Amino acid sequence: MSTPPVVNVDIVIVGGGIAGLWLLNDLRNRGYSAILLEATALGSGQTLASQGMIHGGIKYSLAGALSGAAEAIAEMPDHWRRCLRGAGAVDLRRVRVLSDHFYLWSTGAVAGRMTAFLASKAVRGRVETVAADRRPPIFRAAGFSGSLYRLVDLVLDVPSLVAALADTCPDAIYSLAGAATAWTAADSGRLTLDLRTATGTRRLAPAAFVFAAGAGNAGLLATIGAATPAMQRRPLHQVMVRHRYPHALHGHCLGRETTPRLTISSHPAGGGEQVWYLGGTLAEQGVGMAPDALIALARQELAALLPWVELGPARWATLAVERAEPRQPRLLRPDQAFADWVGNGANALVAWPTKLTLCPHLAHSVVERLTLRGITPSGAPVPVLPLPRPALAPTPWETAFGA
Map out the domains of the chain as residue ranges: 6-47+161-230+328-395, 99-155+233-323
pLDDT at 121: 44
pLDDT bin (cut points 50, 70, 90) of residue 310 is very high
Q: Which residues contact 380 (CB under 8 A, 6 or more apart)?
A: 8, 9, 10, 33
pLDDT at 335: 78
Q: What is the dihedral of CA 257, 260, 262, 267, to 10 degrees?
A: -170
Reply yes or no on whether the pLDDT at 230 is more than 70: yes
pLDDT at 125: 53
Edge-to-edge strands, sheet with 173-175: 173-175, 34-38, 11-14, 208-211, 348-352, 338-341
User: Above pLDDT 70, what percent of the chain?
Assistant: 90
Q: What are the C-alpha distances in Å from 238 to residues 164, 183, 241, 314?
A: 26, 36, 10, 16
Q: What mean pLDDT do residues 14-19 have?
A: 98
Q: What mean pLDDT do residues 56-63 have?
A: 60
pLDDT at 321: 95
Residues 250-287 have pLDDT tens digits of 999 987 766 789 999 999 998 899 999 999 999 999 99
- Domain 99-155+233-323: give its CATH architecture: 2-Layer Sandwich (3.30)
pLDDT bin (cut points 50, 70, 90) of residue 106 is confident
pLDDT at 60: 57
Residue scoring higher pLDDT (297 or 117): 297
Instruction: List phi, psi (to 5°) of 158.
Output: -65, -40
Reply yes or no on whether the pLDDT at 183 is more than 60: yes
Q: What mean pLDDT do residues 186-212 have?
A: 94
Look over the chain and give the mean of its residue pLDDT values, rounded to a whole number.
90
pLDDT at 142: 87
pLDDT at 334: 80
Q: What share of the chain is helix, strand, coil (3-state, %, to 5)?
A: 30, 30, 45
* Contact of 331 with 267, CB cutoff 8 Å: no
Q: What mean pLDDT do residues 180-191 have?
A: 90
If you average pLDDT over each of 119-133, 254-268, 381-395, which comes out highest?
A: 381-395
pLDDT at 122: 44
User: Above pLDDT 90, what percent of the chain?
Assistant: 76
Residues 326-361 have pLDDT tens digits of 998 876 778 789 999 998 778 999 999 999 999 999
What fold is seen in the domain 6-47+161-230+328-395?
A: FAD/NAD(P)-binding domain (3.50.50)
Of 70-74, 181-185, 276-280, 368-372, the range with the lowest mean pLDDT is: 70-74
* Contact of 74 with 89, CB cutoff 8 Å: no
E strand or H helix that includes residue 209: strand 208-211
Q: What mean pLDDT do residues 79-99 have?
A: 96
pLDDT at 67: 55
